[in-house]
Chains A and B, each alone.
Chain A
Amino acid sequence: MVEMITAGIDCGARNTKTVIMKDGSVIGRGSVLTGFDQEKAIYESFESALEDAGVTRQEIERIGGTGSGKDFIRTADSPLDDIRAVSRGGGYFFADAGTVIDVGAEEGRAVRIDQKGNVIDSEINERCAAGTGTFIEDMARILEIPLGEMGPLALQSDRGIAMNAQCAVFAESEVVGLIHAGTAREDISRAVHEAVAARIVSMILRVGVSEDVVMLGGVAFNPAIVEAVRRALKVEKIYIPDNPQFGAAIGAALLAAEGM
């Protein structure tokens, strides 16, 4: 266990998350909307986490930066590979993690790791919004349902509808058509979740399923996604930490402490 206070900053497409860790434990967290000014978001997120932890900037010995906006994290000791940050974060929560998945607003990652946490194989989806949180968010807007209610609503459906569209933009037209045809909203929500889960699952299958399966990232808050992915992977359980959206930031903070 490395004894020092470090920070991990994950500048994502939607939210910038920071954790402060001391001696291998989280002592503070901060999260702000990234918006279009990444540097400002990073600063505010960092300040917010420092305040939460009750430490000053000077007490932070090292900073690990990750996420799609990592190049904006000027104070980072060095930008960290997202895959390593995600793997380290997954292993932190669940010692027996074998496959770590991280799905955020605009990107998804799947990593298979060995017992020591070394990366065996990884896949990134950073080219297509179809398997990401933005898809669900856009559909929530069209269905006029709060994002947090989309998952629970989908779980109420007992009718599966296959969506033809694999693309978030085409799916929007398809959903508008389903609404127009009078389809029940829970059935539409379920179809949306199954479409997103299918994209995530195909990414995971490319690296291989090795238990225990861990899910990080904001999308892990969605019970319908987690359940659809679990079923498709044919595993008993998917392990999700409290505050899964901080997973990559935690990995970054740990890697910073370990000298990367």
Chain B
Amino acid sequence: MAKKKQESAGLKDCIWKSGDIKWKDARFISAGVDVGSVSSQAVIMADGEILAYSNMATGFDSAESGSNALKFALEAAAIPEERIGYCVGTGYGRVNVPAADRTITEIACHARGANFMYGPQVRTVLDVGGQDIKAILCDEKGKVSNFLMNDKCAAGTGRGMEVFADLLEIPVTEVGERSFQYEGEEPDAVTNTCVVYAKSEAAGLLRKGWAKEPVLAAYCRATSERIFSLLERLGVVPEFAVTGGMAKNRGVMDRLMPLLKLGRLKSEWDPQIAGAVGAALFAYALAKKGKKKKRKILSAG
């Protein structure tokens, strides 16, 4: 029987709220909603400061997921929806966020969000999400100057990592740590051009008696190589920052950074919320410019 989408995502719903900010004093409350193929986030801002956010698995209905993400963030912030001055939606494909007053491309939102989360010195943003890899060059304001994206192939993406975690029956959150838990030399990478072939190769290694950990190491290495080749094609300019779920995977990050020969900036924020942060900042800017909201209030009744 096909697995429910929520189970396979391996994500826990997450809601966060700032203890400090009193939204009632704020001039502009803005919201950003990022609906991805695997996870969705919503960020609520008060005058450009993060008030609350939600991070959850995307269900079968992406419009509904966007609405839910926003609803959870609003609940966390204890703000009624009508208080939102402007809402921007973003995400993959023909993103449909019912609450959004307009949509802005995920590339623009990720760069803007990374600029907020990592600081104005960021010039290269790597976003590795559920079903794509984006490499973005931006300026000190978070404005995009160039980018490369792979959204056609699972190799290097979160979904590819999930497939492997399922094969090895390990929660995807444990992959990073366990990929270093073996003795001896680091194994060679499995093929990095196709998850299906890599999975086949890995099954062969397991059959030969390899433990799960070195197989994970081989796949994390392949993933890092795949990501590296995209970054190399774009050309990395310091400073470098990583967003998206893969930023939390030490198994891939610790193998990628030596290939790049530079460091990455750190942030106190969850790297998965970058798109929604950028969207909320754009919404704030539009609210300040006096743009009126177009949407109907969803929470009435």
- What B residues does A168 contact at CB under 8 A? 154, 195-196
Q: B196, A170: Cβ atoms under 8 Å?
A: no
Q: A139 CB to closest chain B CB, in angstroms?
A: 11
Contact status of A164 and B93, CB under 8 A, knowing A127-B193, A129-B194, A169-B196: yes
Whether the Cβ atoms of B5 and A13 lie closer than 8 Å is no
Distance of A181 Cα from B159 Cα, bound (Å): 21
Specify which chain A residues have a CB less than 8 angstroms from the CB of B131 in the assembled complex.
170, 173
Instruction: Please tell me if B152 contacts chain A, counting CB pairs below 8 Å.
Output: yes
Q: Is the interface of A mostly helix, strand, loop or mixed?
A: helix
Q: Mark B1-39, 1 if CB is under 8 A from A, else 0.
A: 111010000000000000000000000000000000100
Please, what's the 1-or-0 string for A30-53, where 1 marks a CB less than 8 Å from any CB in chain B? 000001100000000000000000
B200–A13 contact, CB under 8 A?
Answer: yes
Residues of B within 8 A of A13 (CB): 200
Is there an interface contact between A36 and B203, defined as CB atoms closer than 8 Å? Answer: yes
A138-172 interface bits toward B, Cβ cutoff 8 Å, 1 = contact, 0 = none: 10001010000000000000000000101111100
Q: Which of B93, B193, B208 contacts A36 (CB under 8 A)?
A: B208
Contact B163 A169 (CB under 8 A): yes
Query: Quick check: B154 and A36 within 8 Å, CB to CB?
Result: no
Interface centre among A127, A167, A181, by most chain B C-beta atoms within 10 angstroms, is: A167
Q: Are B193 and A128 in contact (CB under 8 A)?
A: yes
A134 within 8 A of B: yes
Q: Does B269 contact A (CB under 8 A)?
A: no
If A127-B194, A181-B60 touch, does A167 touch B93 (CB 8 Å cutoff)?
no
Given A169-B159, A169-B163, A170-B154, the answer on whether A129 and B93 have CB atoms closer than 8 Å is: no
Contacts of B3 in A (CB 8 A): 176
Closest chain A CB from B1 CB (angstroms): 8
Say yes or no: is A57 at the interface (Cβ < 8 Å to chain B).
no
**Closest residue of B by beta carbon distance from A142:** B2
A128→B194 contact, CB < 8 A: yes
Check A106 for interface membership: any CB of B closer than 8 A.
yes
Q: B261 contacts the other chain (Cβ, under 8 Å)?
A: no
Residue from B3, B37, B196, B197 whose CB has the most chain A CB atoms within 10 Å: B196
User: CA A134 – CA B37 in complex, angstroms?
Assistant: 23
B150-165: contact bitstring with A at CB < 8 Å (1 yes, 0 no)?
Answer: 0011100001100100
B131 to chain A minimum Cβ distance, whole angstroms, is 6
Judge whether B207 is part of the interface by a CB distance below 8 angstroms.
Answer: yes
CB neighbours of A169 from chain B (8 A): 154, 159-160, 163, 195-196
A-contact bits for B178-202, CB 8 A (1 contact / 0 none): 0000000000000001111100100
Kindly state the separation between the CA atoms of A167 and B143 in the bound complex, as whole angstroms: 31
Query: Do residues B152 and A167 form an inter-chain contact, with CB atoms below 8 A?
Result: yes
A167:B153 contact, CB within 8 angstroms: yes
Query: In the bound complex, what is the Cα–Cα distance between A61 and B245 (angstroms)?
Result: 58
A144 to B5, CA, bound (A): 17
Q: Does B80 lie at the interface of the complex (its beta carbon under 8 Å from any beta carbon of A)?
A: no
Asked whether any CB of chain A lies closer than 8 Å to the CB of B204, the reply is: yes
Task: Kindly provide the distance from the CB of A255 to the nearest chain B CB, expressed in whole angstroms.
Answer: 27
A170 near B159 with CB under 8 A, answer yes
Bound CA span A239–B196, Å: 30
CB closest chain-A residue, reference B163: A169
Interchain Cβ contacts under 8 Å between A and B, 16 examples? A106-B196, A106-B197, A127-B193, A127-B194, A129-B196, A129-B197, A135-B196, A144-B1, A167-B152, A168-B195, A169-B154, A170-B37, A170-B154, A173-B159, A180-B2, A181-B60
Beyond A166-B153, A169-B159, A181-B60, 6 extra complex contacts between A and B, CB < 8 Å? A36-B208, A106-B200, A128-B153, A168-B196, A169-B196, A176-B5
The 6 A-B residue pairs with the shortest CB-CB distance in the complex, in nearest-first order? A129-B196, A169-B154, A36-B204, A127-B193, A36-B207, A176-B2
